[in-house]
Amino acid sequence: MMFSWEFPPRIIGGIAPHVYELSRALARKGVLVFVVTCDFPGAPDYEVIDGVRVYRVDSYRFPTPDFATWTSMMNVNMQAKATEVLANVRDKIHILHAHDWLVANAAIGLKHLFRLPLLATIHSTEYGRSKGIYNDYQRMISSTERWLTREARRVICCSGYMLKEIKKSLLVPDYKIDVIPNGINTSPFEVPYDREAFRSRFVASGEKLVLYVGRFVREKGVDLLVEAVPKVLRNIDARFVMVGEGYMKDTLLKRVEEMGLAKKVYISGFLDTETVRLLFRAADACVVPSLYEPFGIVALEAMAAGAPIVSTGVGGLGEILEDNISAVIAYPRANSISKAITKILQEPTYADSLRKRAYERVTSFYRWDLIAEKTRRVYQRLMSEHEAGVWKPQ
């Protein structure tokens, strides 16, 4: 039984698509999966999605003093519903799987009430999200994360980089942690489309299309990319499409204006998923200039779509991408990034080899069925450890 505070159609961050894809892939492998999550206008309280049984609970819609208090109140309802389900189908549920601190209260209580092994996936940590712990609010969340990882028999995180962060900020011992990367569903990137017609919406003929997708915040290194633009244009004609939102948007727009690049850099707001997917497929290069990245799903999307990648290889990105094979790794400086982009745009055969190797890599290591298989093995290990423990199944 999985616990997640978001699940489609309620999508707030990366946990919703993760739980959606993982639970369905596990169900295809014959695992009986229950998901307990928050309600969403128009979504049913109970439904079965590709074999996954989804329960949506009233997530407390009244005003609360802060997000953490809302989370506590939401957990009350989540636990009440889950207890009811568990009491009815006690013999069918063998594992509790919690996604992040947001469901800690409910999942930990249930672990003890039903004596089931608890598994926690830590998608990110408060320490990493806010670059340190500075006030009591953050201390409370970090303490909750520590409590959850202490109560969990095993902990899953998405990269070697996160493994280090969890060990350092939450003091989780090594033996408890499994690294399982995020996955990607490549089929939406394979539907037929009219490439030229789509490209003409963004670039003139003869212009190359360079893509950035991500939040406009400092840690994504988006300002480095803007600074790299003039040097690329010196050698080759291109248009830079930047998709996202964030507090740096106005600064970026101003900087682009100052540099006289308004015609060459198109800063869009959020675009719908379908358009973004097509942009990945139509792009001649995709730049991921992050300075901090726990995993880097954007790289998987570019790889699945066949967009040659230029990246700084920071954090989890360095585990996904290999320099000169599936991407060009640049230093986090404008000069280096512009050189890498130029190389990809000027040498189509080189770009094609990157494209091909990246696609091979994404389909051989990051398919959801492979990720689900790894998760299933963790489930099995959890079960055998549990059976050897002092808690005898009832």
Partner 1 sequence: MRLTIAILTWEYPPRIVGDMAHYVEKLAQELSEENDVCVITCHDAPYLHEKVSNSLEIYRVPNPVKPHVNVVTWALSLTSEIQRIVAEIYYDKSRKFDIIDDHEWQFVTAATALKRAFGIPFVLTFHSLESKRSSDPSAPLSACIKGLERVGAYESDKIITRSKLLKSEVESVHQVPPSKVRYIPESTSWLGETLDTYNQVIAHQ
User: Closest CB to partner 1 among 113 and 191?
Assistant: 113
Residue 140 makes contact with partner 1 by CB under 8 A: yes
Q: Closest approach of Cβ 84 to partner 1, in Å? A: 6
Which residue in this structure is represented by tokens 């990137």?
A: 189
Residue 147 makes contact with partner 1 by CB under 8 A: yes
User: Closest CB to partner 1 among 131 and 392?
Assistant: 392
Q: Which of 109, 230, 246, 332 binds partner 1 (CB under 8 A)?
A: 109
Residue 108 makes contact with partner 1 by CB under 8 A: yes
d(CA 294, CA 297): 9
Looking at residue 14, its amino acid is G
Comparing CA positions, the residue from 214, 206, 233 lying closest to residue 302 is 214
**Residues contacting partner 1: total by CB under 8 A:** 35
User: Closest CB to partner 1 among 104 and 299?
Assistant: 104
User: Closest CB to partner 1 among 76 and 325?
Assistant: 76
Q: Closest approach of Cβ 117 to partner 1, in Å? A: 14
CB 362 within 8 A of CB 304: yes
Residue 110 makes contact with partner 1 by CB under 8 A: yes
Q: Which of 68, 291, 325, 383 binds partner 1 (CB under 8 A)?
A: 68
First to last CA, the chain: 18
CB 326 within 8 A of CB 351: no
CB 222 within 8 A of CB 267: no
Region 38-67 residues binding partner 1, contact defined as CB under 8 A? 60, 62-66
User: Closest CB to partner 1 among 32 and 76?
Assistant: 76
| Span interacting with partner 1, options 27-35, 69-77, 288-296, 299-307, rule CB under 8 A | 69-77
| Span interacting with partner 1, options 100-108, 229-237, 282-290, 362-370, rule CB under 8 A | 100-108
Looking at residue 220, its amino acid is K
Region 71-90 residues binding partner 1, contact defined as CB under 8 A? 72-73, 75-76, 79-80, 83-84, 86-87
Listed in sequence order, the DSSP H helices in 152-289 are 160-170, 195-199, 222-235, 249-258, 273-282
Looking at residue 330, its amino acid is A
Residue 171 makes contact with partner 1 by CB under 8 A: no
d(CA 330, CA 341): 9
Q: Closest approach of Cβ 85 to partner 1, in Å? A: 10
Q: Which of 49, 94, 114, 332 binds partner 1 (CB under 8 A)?
A: 114
User: Closest CB to partner 1 among 87 and 191?
Assistant: 87
Residue 160 makes contact with partner 1 by CB under 8 A: no
Beta strands 328-329 and 177-179: pairing type?
unpaired
Of how many residues is the chain composed? Answer: 394
CB 37 within 8 A of CB 6: yes
Distance of CA 120 to the CA centre of its chain: 16
User: Which pair of structure tokens corresponds to residue 276?
Assistant: 């973004």
Element (H, E) at 178: strand 177-179
User: Which pair of structure tokens corresponds to residue 9?
Assistant: 């159609």
The residues binding partner 1 (CB under 8 A) are 60, 62-66, 68-69, 72-73, 75-76, 79-80, 83-84, 86-87, 104-105, 108-110, 112-115, 136-137, 139-140, 143-144, 147, 391
